[in-house]
Amino acid sequence: MRGKFITLEGIDGAGKTTHLRWLEYFLKERGETVIITREPGGTPLGEALRGILLDDRQVMHAETEALLMFAARREHLDKVILPALSRGTWVISDRFTDASFAYQGGGRRLSLQKLNELECWVQGEFQPDVTLYLDVSIASGRQRTSNIKQADRFEKEQDEFFRRVREAYLERAKKFPERIRVIDANQSLEDVRRSVEKSIATICA
C-alpha cells in the first residue's frame, strides 16, 4: 500500500518543527513507518542548495531562487519522497511546493504562470495527500524566532514581504480547500494538536 505524503507550511515561527515532531510520534503510535524531511533540502544536493538559498550573503534574481528551489525539489522527489511512498512509508515534509508559490510568488512577486510551469515540469500531477498550513501573525512569528537563531536570508526580509507570503498561502488554501487545511497557530499547543489530528483524520482512515 502506498504511503501518505503530509506537508507542513507556514512562515517561520508558526511552529512547524514542533508540530511536525509531534505528528511523527502520533503516526508511529498508530503503527505507521514515518520519515521526516524538509525543503529546500532532503538530499545531499538539496542541502547544498539550501545552504546557498539561505545564505544572507547571496544576492540572486527571483527566478534564480525559484529555479534552485525546484531543482532541489526534483532531487527530493526522485531520491526520497517517491521511493519512500512506494515502500508504504509515510513522508512528512517541512515545506513543499506551496512554499514556492508563497515565498517566490507572493514574497518575490514572481509570475505565477512561471511557477505553475515549473510545478508541472518537476512534479506533474503529484501533490501531497494533505497540507497543514499553520497560520500565525507576522508579529507573533517574529517574536517566537527572534531569540532562537541567527536570521537567514529570508528571515531578514521586511514585514511587508511576509505579509505577501501569508496572503499567498491563504489564497493557495482557498484554491485547494480539499488538500490545504488552515490551522490557527495562535492557539494553545494542545488546540493546534487537536486541529492537526482532525485535519489528517481522513487520510488515516
Flag whether 41 is marked binding: no
| Per-10-residue mean pLDDT, the chain, length 205 | 96 87 95 97 97 92 97 98 98 98 97 97 98 91 68 83 96 97 93 94 83
Flag whether 107 is marked binding: no
For residue 171, how many other CB atoms are within 10 A of its CB? 14
Flag whether 98 is marked binding: no
| DSSP secondary structure string for all residues of 108-165 | S---HHHHHHHHHHHHTT---SEEEEEE--HHHHHHHHTTTS---TTTTS-HHHHHHH
Q: Which three cell numbers stand for residue 67?
A: 529555479
Quick check: 155 and 29 in contact, CB under 8 A?
no
Flag whether 151 is marked binding: no
**How far apart are alpha carbons 136 and 138 in whole angstroms?**
6
pLDDT of residue 102: 97
Burial class (CB in 10 A: 0-12, 13-18, 19+), 180: buried
Flag whether 185 is marked binding: no
Flag whether 105 is marked binding: no
Query: 5-204 adopts what CATH topology?
Result: Rossmann fold (3.40.50)
Q: In the 8-state DSSP scheme, what is residue 105?
A: I
Domain ranges of the chain: 5-204
Flag whether 13 is marked binding: yes
Closest-CA residue to 10 (of 183, 203, 202, 171)? 183
pLDDT of residue 147: 64
Burial class (CB in 10 A: 0-12, 13-18, 19+), 99: buried
Residues 6 or more apart whose CB falls under 8 angstroms from that of 106 comprise: 164, 165, 166, 167, 168, 169, 171
The residue assigned the cell 512561471 is 114
Flag whether 156 is marked binding: no
pLDDT of residue 27: 96
